């Protein structure tokens, strides 16, 4: 029974009780007055018949009987002839009991009709909810009728549970599809270096010159390095998706993490005759995992190096405020194509200005690593041109 029905039931029961009391009081008063009238009629009939001259006096006495006091002699006189309280009770009790039983039977009949109707409605609601669950279990699309009654809470919980199960099912299907797509992409990405390596091995077998052999060996080494990076990145992404990659939470100095991220890229930057600038700034700290944060920043710096022209420059700035620590990685290259910006962090996405050897997984890995550490990663074009990555590690307010 819901709150609205309870509010309606209490006044209804109170009104029924008052009506029953008024009805019984009226009926009992009518029955009592009728029996008293009959008794007076019998007395007057006998008086008129036996002693006509006393009729007027008896009438006056009966009129004053409602206010006259009762004497002990009168009570003893009536008791002597058997007119006791029990005598009158025997005559009135069956009448009163009959009236009371009829009234209560009437009220019971009304309540029974209401109860049966209520139980019938409950049965129909249970059947509706059961049919809805059966349709859901069998995969049929159905709509749950919403109404306000004592089953409203149960109905809401069923609706929430079914909606959550549907969402979970859709996510599972989507994850399965993503896994299939990723496997297809992985197969495609691995197929190219493997084919290239096989071809170079065949050429090495046919090549007799030492100088030519060294060129093929260098190319083979590049392909092996590319495969190792691809497999390591995919393994890291898989661990992130599965939630098995444990990230430390320690106080880190932004400058030291940036330097650690730049070290593996020094040969590449030197080979392209590029300039890496890290202006000295006020110390900035944040909480995170040193190794994986350096890995994420290294991917961003590598992307800037690949897209900046030879002899270009890469600038890394950082600062801290009460809300977050921000790291900016920018280059002076051509920047991102506007159509590519919304898709840059999608796995295996290669933009219009992507390099020939680009795999399209580094930025996705960086975004996942940074977001797992209460951070955000955004890519856009700088005001003076060139690509710019904005990393923010937010202060933990707990």
pLDDT at 277 over 80: yes
φ/ψ region of 72 (left if φ > 0, alpha if ψ in -120 to 50, else beta) reads alpha
pLDDT at residue 261, rounded to an integer: 93
**What does the alpha-carbon distance between residue 372 and residue 236 come to, in Å, rounded to a whole number?**
13
Least confident range from 122-131, 178-187, 194-203: namely: 178-187
Residues 198-216 have a mean pLDDT of: 65
Residue with token string 């991917």: 299
pLDDT at residue 165, rounded to an integer: 81
pLDDT at residue 262, rounded to an integer: 94
| Cα angle for residues 182, 357, 174 (degrees, 5° grid) | 15
pLDDT at residue 181, rounded to an integer: 66
Q: pLDDT-based confidence at 29, cuts 50/70/90? A: low
Domain 250-394 has CATH 3.90.1010.10: no
* Cβ–Cβ < 8 Å for 375, 252: no
pLDDT at residue 172, rounded to an integer: 77
Burial grade of 230 (CB within 10 A; 0-12, 13-18, 19 or more) = middle
Burial grade of 145 (CB within 10 A; 0-12, 13-18, 19 or more) = exposed
pLDDT at 297 over 70: yes
Strands 387-394 and 375-381: antiparallel
Structure tokens, 50:
């036996």
Residues of the chain with CATH 3.30.565.10: 250-394
Residues of the chain with CATH 1.10.287.130: 152-242
Residues 6+ apart with CB under 8 A from 321: none
**What does the alpha-carbon distance between residue 285 and residue 324 come to, in Å, rounded to a whole number?**
9
pLDDT at residue 341, rounded to an integer: 85
Helix/strand/coil (H/E/C) assignment for every residue in 179-217: HHHHHHHHHHHHHHHHHHHHHHHHHHHHCCCHHHHHHHH
Which tens digits make up the pLDDT trace of 362-386? Answer: 888 899 899 999 999 999 998 878 8
What CATH number should be reported for the domain whose range is 152-242?
1.10.287.130
Burial grade of 369 (CB within 10 A; 0-12, 13-18, 19 or more) = buried
pLDDT at 313 over 70: yes
Query: Which ranges constitute the DSSP H helices of the chain?
Result: 3-50, 55-64, 72-80, 85-137, 152-206, 210-242, 254-262, 266-271, 290-307, 362-371
**What does the alpha-carbon distance between residue 129 and residue 152 come to, in Å, rounded to a whole number?**
11
Q: Which residues is 277 bridged to in the sheet?
A: 315
Which tens digits make up the pLDDT trace of 216-263? Answer: 677 777 777 777 777 777 777 777 776 667 888 899 999 999 999 999
What interhelical angle do 362-371 and 210-242 show, nearest 10?
30
More confident residue, 298 or 162: 298
Structure tokens, 308:
């900046």
More confident residue, 303 or 137: 303
Q: What is the DSSP string of 35-97?
A: HHHHHHHHHHHHHHHH-GGGHHHHHHHHHHTTTSPPPHHHHHHHHHTT--HHHHHHHHHHHHH
Residues 138-155 have a mean pLDDT of: 69
* Cβ–Cβ < 8 Å for 293, 245: no
**Predicted model pTM:** 0.51
């Amino acid at each position: 029974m819901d709150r609205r029905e309870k509010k309606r039931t209490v006044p209804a029961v109170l009104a029924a009780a008052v009506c029953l009391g008024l009805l019984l009081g009226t009926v009992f008063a009518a029955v009592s007055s009728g029996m008293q009238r009959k008794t007076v009629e019998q007395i007057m009939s006998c008086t008129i018949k036996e002693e006509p001259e006393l009729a007027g006096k008896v009438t006056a006495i009966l009129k004053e009987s409602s206010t006259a006091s009762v004497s002990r002699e009168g009570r003893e006189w009536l008791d002597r002839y058997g007119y006791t309280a029990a005598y009158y009770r025997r005559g009135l009790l069956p009448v009163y009991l009959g009236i009371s039983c009829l009234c209560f039977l009437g009220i019971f009949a009304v309540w029974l009709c209401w109860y049966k109707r209520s139980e019938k409605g409950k049965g129909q609601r249970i059947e509706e909810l059961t049919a809805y669950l059966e349709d859901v279990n069998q995969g049929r699309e159905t709509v749950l009728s919403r109404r306000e009654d004592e089953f409203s809470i149960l109905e809401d919980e069923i609706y929430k549970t079914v909606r959550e199960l549907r969402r979970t099912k859709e996510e599972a299907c989507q994850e399965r599809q993503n896994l299939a797509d990723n496997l297809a992409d992985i197969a495609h990405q691995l197929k190219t270096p493997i084919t290239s390596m096989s071809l170079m091995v065949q050429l090495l077998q046919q090549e007799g010159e030492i100088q030519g052999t060294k060129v093929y060996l260098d190319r083979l080494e590049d392909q092996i390095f590319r495969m190792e990076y691809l497999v390591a990145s995919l393994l890291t992404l898989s661990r992130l998706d599965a939630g098995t990659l444990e990230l430390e939470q320690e106080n880190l100095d932004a400058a030291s993490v940036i330097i650690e991220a730049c070290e593996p890229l020094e040969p590449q930057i030197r080979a392209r005759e590029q300039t890496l600038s890290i202006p000295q700034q006020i110390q900035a700290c944040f909480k995170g995992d040193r190794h994986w944060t350096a890995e994420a920043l290294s991917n961003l710096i590598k992307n800037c190096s690949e897209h900046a022209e030879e002899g270009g420059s890469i600038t890394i700035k950082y600062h801290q405020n009460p809300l977050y620590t921000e790291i900016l990685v920018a280059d002076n290259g051509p920047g991102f194509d506007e159509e590519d910006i919304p898709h840059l962090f999608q796995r295996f996405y290669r933009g219009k200005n992507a390099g020939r050897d680009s795999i399209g997984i580094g930025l996705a890995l960086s975004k996942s690593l940074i977001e797992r550490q209460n951070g955000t990663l955004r890519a856009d074009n700088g005001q003076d041109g060139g690509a710019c990555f904005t990393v923010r590690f937010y202060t933990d307010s707990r």
